[in-house]
Structure 1
Amino acid sequence: MKILAKSTPELTLQEHINDALLIVDVLKESFTNIASLVNEDHFWQLLRLSVIFHDLGKSHKDFQNVLRGKSHTWNFQRHELFSLPFVEGLNIKNKELIYYVVAGHHKDYETLIKKLSEYGEEDNLGLNLDGIEKVPTFEAVFKQNVPINDVLSLLKEFDINLFKVPIHNPKKTLQQFVRNRLINFQELIELLLLAGAFKQCDHLASAGIKQIKNLEIKDFNYLYQSNFELYSHQKKSAKIIGNTILTAPTGSGKTESSLLWLQNQIKTTGKGRVFYILPFTASINAMFERLEKNIPEKIGLIHGKLSAFIENKFEDDDLVDEQKKAEIKEQFKNLVMPLKVVTPFQLLKNIFALKGFEKGIFEWAGGYFIFDEIHAYNPKVFAQIIVLLKFATTYLNVKTFIMTATLPNFLRKELEKAIGNFNTIKTNSELYDNFTRHKIVVKQGRLDENLNLIQNALNQNKKVLVVCNTVKQAQTVYRSLKSNNKILIHGSFNANDRNNKEKQLFGEEVKLLVGTQAIEVSLDIDYDVIFTEPAPLDALIQRFGRVNRKREKGISECIVFEGRNKSDKFIYKNEDIIKRTIHILKEKEKFNSGEIMEAELQNMIDFVYPNWDKSDKENFDKIFTLLNGFIERDLKPFIYNKKQEEDFYKQFDGIKVLPVKFLSQYQKYLDENKFVKAESLKVQISEKRFYALSYNQAIEEVRDVFESLKTHKIKEQKVFVISKKYDSEFGLLLDEDEVCKFDESQNL
């Protein structure tokens, strides 16, 4: 009787191994740079053997009975543990790496050690603690249930002849791995890569994926088909090899520069997976659309709202059903797509050793990181990015392209230390002169006290951008301004409305855009004039970059109000930075009619940020030291570190709540098992605000019961319902109550 690997649909173990071996060949083709990290031939041999041996334990007769729907006494044993005696029978250098990979391909080692502790021990004659009931040893269970000869015959199909199968309890080996540090870091990297490559093979094969896509040199040919001649910094990017830091004005084709650099790396260095890293969901979605248009079917994206993005993108496409949407989501996330647009957190979770991180580490190997808007992170996140860059460039041969319009020198020095050898590209002075497009106007008072100025600009048929520092202020200003075509964007919309607004943004008919900081980064939008509340200079420069972006409007006014609202201090806490920003803007306003030369921006930044803020530097140093220390001392595959996971998720200050007006729609979606649509009705608020609203009884926990249409089991879903008004145009209105009537049977 053939050994089965899966039951629905039925798949033999030999077939599953062959499917996974096919992925080994695919990885070999796609990860040519692996040779710079490990002994290439030996690595692929170890991976091949790991694939062949990983599921041999499924031959256990009770596991086979489970798959065939027969009576059994499997009792949640772990099949991978019964594969290990066969691995021990190999006579090959570094077979212990295969052993570790096979053991850890599903569960962490602590879980496996607990499972192995349930078997009897040879030295106590298989007795349990009270000495009455005999507990069979692992060795006895193996001998009784694993058809060794059938497995040896299967191995011969893959040209492997084992002459012995040392039957043993793997518990001590796994315990030693958990307790001991690996001999050297290179050994750790090889094991991480092997573990990650194996998990990629197993998971892709199980998903029925036979091929992954690669970027080709010709994919970038469109960059040369424009009517515009390349800028000097773009030409340099196309020729340079290795880590690079580019400084260029907003709107000067930094994205194209990074892709020209990438094309040259692939041409000269070899294939690798690519990560284009941006700070905000809105800019990631926009960049995905932009890249997908020019490099179709090779771009993926990953962020916390991916499901909602896919749901919205294909909502009106009758050819894309729920199953197809799920497939698209998986392709966006897994190895299939060679270029992914991501938030840094999708990469950072791998150096925090979250579950499955080995797959991510392998995907980076010999790959390419492109960081856009590197300045946009707080000190804690910036410290994590520095650790990521140091690890990836030092140990995984990752090449990185970092681009920014302006960057404080003290931050730049940290980047330079992290990436080691690097090239510098800076736009030439002539282009900087040509990019003079903004005129600074500093106004006394607060923005909300000068709405007549904004309304006058609208009445003159100008495209007006207004940036506020808080959601509440943006809502208030938006209400007060009159325009037939206006949009409000901030973080207190649900995913449905946010996606719809992002689509509308790119329509020429929009005359007024009011928003918060989300407008600052990488949205390719172009307005005639900006009115903004005070903010740090680097944030203002990004805001200005959304005005006269294409330099077709002469000199555009950038109007900054120096008056701050009381709530601003919660957004920008360092008063001195705001004061220095206003001071330098006023100084520039005195000369040349306030026109700002792009070449002056770096000196202005260095004036505002002469050095680290003391508190920021303490936060940076603390995070860097802790995370870098964890990597150097404790990063190991197959070990689950709960504290690291808690530390990672602790930095996300947000809890999702459901506006009460959507409660019945939410319940309807649950009944229909449309879980992404249900989730898309929720709005994220800060943890601090959540607890304040809960204290004032504006949030209640509701439990909904629904039937799973797949299993027909009754399930329960908990949701926090907020009794505040929600409007698709304005978002969540925290100062306005919504009459709220709950079914008492749903409440806790």
Structure 2
Amino acid sequence: MTPTIFWAKPDQTYEEHIRAAYAAWKSTVSAKRNLIQRLGKLYGFSEERFLKSSLLTVVLHDIGKNIEPFQQMMRAKKEGKSFDYRENYRHELESYCFIFRGAMALATQEGGSLMGKLPLEALAVLGHHKRIDPSLDSFHRESLSAKPPVCEEGMNLALTLAGQIFQSEGYQFPEIPVHEYDPYKEVSKLIGYEGIFTKIYDREPDHEAVRATYSLLKAILHYSDWLGSSGKELPYSVKIDPDQLFKEIEQRCAAKQIAFTQLRPFQQQCADTKGNVIAVAPTGSGKTEAALFWALNNIREMQDAKLIYLLPTMVTANSIFMRLEEYFGKGNVGLSHSTATFLRENEEENPQERTVLFDKSFIKPATVATVDQFLTAGFNTGKWTLIEANAANSVVIIDEIHSYDPWTLGLIIESLKHFSKLGTRFMLMSATLPHYLIELFTRSLPDVTVIRDETLLSSCRNQYQVFDKPIEDAIAEIEKEVVQGKKTLVVVNNVAKCQELYKKLGHLNPLCYHSKFTFNDRRAKEERIDDAKLLIATQVVEVSLDIDFDVMFTECAPPDALIQRAGRVNRRRVKTGSRILIFLPSKTSEKIYDPDSTGLLTRSFEKFKTSPPDLTESDLISIVEDVYTGRDIEQSEIFVDASRQYTETQGKLMEIFDNSNKVEDKLSTRMEKYLQVPVIPLQFRNLITSLDVPPSKRRLYEVKMPYWYVRKHKEIRDEIMFCEMKYDSDIGASFADDKDDVASLIL
């Protein structure tokens, strides 16, 4: 008689999948061994005790697939037949019944649970595909279904296989009876609204320990399941040493005709420092490379940690991502932000080398992301357990740390405290960092070293001039610079002003660059920036763009922002006669940068106005300190509110439940006075609703617009949100009604 074959996937038998997941588990726990040991010392469990619980989740995570509905679905798929998915039953629920009993038996066998009285193993398995919360919304269909018939033979084979794997590790497998349970009812006893989870949780003395341990358990299960399913091996950490990186940088500099023979003193000091670092150095001093050398040496000391590089904008993240791929190789660097999937859509590459899932969960050896992707883990959204566990075993670089609003900064501070306790090492970088921020970060990070690049303090990169007039009155001067062949940069504080100047200077063939373009249009402009003779832009040029101009006309902004903008002029410090021309801030600028009317822009303007034109790097630092003297961001209501959001959110979610509220304002990682939502300009309606644009490519046509405006001008067709607006590939989006002069603030 031919034995029955039980399937985990159409192309994998149950045994093949579990054995593949076990192999992936062995490599994963080996890579995360130091983290397991760190958390064990921190929270009082042994490495072996954790490994037993972790292995239990892996060998039993799919045991629930041995039910009749699931096996019928697999047979239908293998035979190319249709299957009514409404007849399926979520296998995680069935798996829960077995691993819950396995976890209880293991606790009895080992003399105690892994973490208090909570069956974390069972909860990790229950949530390894679907979101879990006390409402059990993910399993609504199962709440109305009868308990599924069990394939008893399959269950017995699964338990025998699990016992064999435990034995191969030298562990004793706990006894688990085969029985037909009512899975939804079983789960409801623990975490439903009538469940006892809350009572057990409330008795736990260390909720942070619960969160960290659960995150690691579930993350390792995800690794094992995904890598076991794909059949691929992925390097856990960056496999390049500092000498190799030096050669890569040498080649890159040679291609850009930049002299590079050795690390500068600042870079060498960063490279030699172990632990947390605050690095302050002028633009163009090689902070990125300094950070990478620091990262590699700390990764080596931590024995194969990951590298996470965080930036404030998608544009800067894209730029650093491409640089890191040059250094570390394709397939080894992930990119995570809202439009990351489109960045390299036209390139031919092995699809297994680049997956959105791996990128978003920081699984690649190195990941470049916007800071938002890192911070959302604190709100328990997305694959937050993977982000938590991977970030806890990483070196994290946060670039342009000065550029965040009080809300985001409050979230960053809480993340620094949380992850540094788990063993994460941080480097915070900026060209301009006021003393009050250095003090704040120093209090938030243990044993942090502040490293300053002092070799350039006496150098003067550019000449500064200040004018008592608005920038739109400088059209003639801008024309003169461009006609004389100077690469000219114009920076204003809002999109509407950027578009206005673009129209006035259209005869000079300028490039207009800001945040209100579709993805494809923005990407096309980024490719043209290097060759632009006249670039008219907003604040998007301030951070981490490797561009170089001869002269800049700019509206006044806070001093650190102005210095960042100035870093795009004479970037290599080899030009003579490069200039920065500062003009009066507009009323709109004050609403953007100084909503509390503290006089920030007035102080900034007056300070530059009364300073000599030959400002050295030391002079610029002094201006920043003078303008920000007396500022205490920790007294800001916004900062305080953000700082307690993680605690409040995780308290409501009892640390381990997934967040089902994706639109609550308090769960935003950025402070936005007006909520911005992505919509498609109405003029693309016919194109989008035709068959020419598949659903996966619709985001290429999106632009973020103010929520209040979208409510007035939206048009929904086939469940797609369109919005009436003016859109032009040269100047971007603007309001359809010119009377809406609030656009000058919003855009």
Q: Normalising by structure 2, report the TM-score.
A: 0.84
Report the CA distance between 1:76 and its aligned residue: 5.5
Matches within 5 A, 1:274-353: 274-297=307-330, 298-311=332-345, 314=346, 317=347, 319=348, 324=351, 327-353=354-380
Indicate the SS of the match to 1:105: coil
User: Residues 56 and 80 of structure 1 are in contact (CA less than 8 Å); yes or no, is this contact kept in structure 2?
Assistant: yes
Partner Cα distance (1:16, 1:346) in 2: 31
Q: Work out the number of aligned pairs and report it.
A: 682
Please tell me the residue identity of whatever aligns with 2:452.
Answer: K
Please tell me the residue identity of whatever aligns with 1:662.
Answer: F
Mapped pair 1:687 → 2:707:
yes
User: Residues 645 and 666 of structure 2 are in contact (CA less than 8 Å); yes or no, is this contact kept in structure 1?
Assistant: no
Indicate the SS of the match to 2:610: helix
Mapped pair 1:150 → 2:183:
no
Tell me: CA distance 1:532–1:172, structure 2 relative to 1, closer, same or farther (3 Å): same
Indicate the SS of the match to 1:582: helix
- 269, 275, 297: which is aligned to 1:242? 275
Q: Which residue is equivalent to 2:433?
A: 407
Q: Which residue is equivalent to 1:529?
A: 551
Q: Which residue is equivalent to 2:189?
A: 172
- 479, 485, 505: which is aligned to 1:481? 505
Q: Which residue is equivalent to 1:50?
A: 57
Q: Which residue is equivalent to 1:30?
A: 31
Please tell me the residue identity of whatever aligns with 2:642.
Answer: I
Q: Which residue is equivalent to 2:399?
A: 372
Matches within 5 A, 1:319-718: 319=348, 324=351, 327-394=354-421, 396-428=422-454, 430-434=455-459, 436-481=460-505, 486-506=510-530, 509-566=531-588, 569-570=591-592, 572-573=594-595, 574=597, 576-589=599-612, 594-612=613-631, 617-631=636-650, 635-640=654-659, 642=661, 647-649=666-668, 651=670, 653-668=675-690, 671-672=691-692, 674-691=694-711, 694=712, 699-704=713-718, 717-718=719-720
User: Residues 446 and 564 of structure 1 are in contact (CA less than 8 Å); yes or no, is this contact kept in structure 2?
Assistant: yes
Q: Which residue is equivalent to 1:719?
A: 721
Partner Cα distance (1:680, 1:563) in 2: 34
Please tell me the residue identity of whatever aligns with 1:172.
Answer: K
User: Residues 299 and 395 of structure 2 are in contact (CA less than 8 Å); yes or no, is this contact kept in structure 1?
Assistant: no
User: Residues 458 and 483 of structure 1 are in contact (CA less than 8 Å); yes or no, is this contact kept in structure 2?
Assistant: no
Q: Which residue is equivalent to 1:83?
A: 98
User: Residues 279 and 428 of structure 2 are in contact (CA less than 8 Å); yes or no, is this contact kept in structure 1?
Assistant: yes
Please tell me the residue identity of whatever aligns with 2:474.
Answer: N
Q: Which residue is equivalent to 1:728?
A: 729
Q: Which residue is equivalent to 1:253?
A: 286
Report the CA distance between 1:731 and its aligned residue: 1.1
Indicate the SS of the match to 1:172: helix
Q: Which residue is equivalent to 2:743?
A: none
Please tell me the residue identity of whatever aligns with 1:503.
Answer: E
Partner Cα distance (2:736, 2:21) in 1: 56
Please tell me the residue identity of whatever aligns with 2:416.
Answer: L
User: Residues 86 and 166 of structure 1 are in contact (CA less than 8 Å); yes or no, is this contact kept in structure 2?
Assistant: no
User: Residues 61 and 146 of structure 1 are in contact (CA less than 8 Å); yes or no, is this contact kept in structure 2?
Assistant: no
Root mean square deviation, CA, Å: 3.1
User: Residues 251 and 549 of structure 1 are in contact (CA less than 8 Å); yes or no, is this contact kept in structure 2?
Assistant: yes
Tell me: CA distance 1:639–1:2, structure 2 relative to 1, closer, same or farther (3 Å): farther
Over the matched positions of the two proteins, sequence identity in percent amounts to 27
The one-character-per-residue Cα deviations of 1:367-396 (angstroms, maximum 9, x if unpaired) are: 1110110011110010001111110101x2
Q: Normalising by structure 1, report the TM-score.
A: 0.84
The range that moved more, 526-535 or 152-161, is 152-161
Report the CA distance between 1:682 and its aligned residue: 2.0
Indicate the SS of the match to 1:37: helix
Please tell me the residue identity of whatever aligns with 2:397.
Answer: I
Tell me: CA distance 1:106–1:585, structure 2 relative to 1, closer, same or farther (3 Å): same
Tell me: CA distance 1:367–1:50, structure 2 relative to 1, closer, same or farther (3 Å): same
Report the CA distance between 1:485 and its aligned residue: 5.2
Please tell me the residue identity of whatever aligns with 2:702.
Answer: K
Indicate the SS of the match to 2:629: coil
The range that moved more, 625-634 or 206-215, is 625-634
Q: Which residue is equivalent to 2:253?
A: none
Tell me: CA distance 1:678–1:61, structure 2 relative to 1, closer, same or farther (3 Å): closer
Partner Cα distance (2:498, 2:635) in 1: 28
Report the CA distance between 1:242 and its aligned residue: 0.2
User: Residues 525 and 549 of structure 1 are in contact (CA less than 8 Å); yes or no, is this contact kept in structure 2?
Assistant: yes
Partner Cα distance (2:187, 2:370) in 1: 39
Indicate the SS of the match to 2:545: coil
Report the CA distance between 1:204 and its aligned residue: 3.3
Report the CA distance between 1:675 and its aligned residue: 2.6
Tell me: CA distance 1:702–1:230, structure 2 relative to 1, closer, same or farther (3 Å): same
Q: Which residue is equivalent to 2:43?
A: none
Query: Tell me, which stretches of 5 or more residues in structure 1 are unaligned?
Result: 121-134, 705-716, 738-748
Indicate the SS of the match to 1:585: helix
User: Residues 32 and 272 of structure 1 are in contact (CA less than 8 Å); yes or no, is this contact kept in structure 2?
Assistant: no
Partner Cα distance (1:642, 1:352) in 2: 10
The one-character-per-residue Cα deviations of 1:688-717 (angstroms, maximum 9, x if unpaired) are: 4434xx1xxxx231313xxxxxxxxxxxx3
Q: Which residue is equivalent to 1:264?
A: 297
The range that moved more, 635-644 or 531-540, is 635-644
Indicate the SS of the match to 1:310: coil
Query: Tell me, which stretches of 5 or more residues in structure 2 are unaligned?
Result: 41-45, 77-82, 251-259, 739-747
Report the CA distance between 1:658 and its aligned residue: 2.1
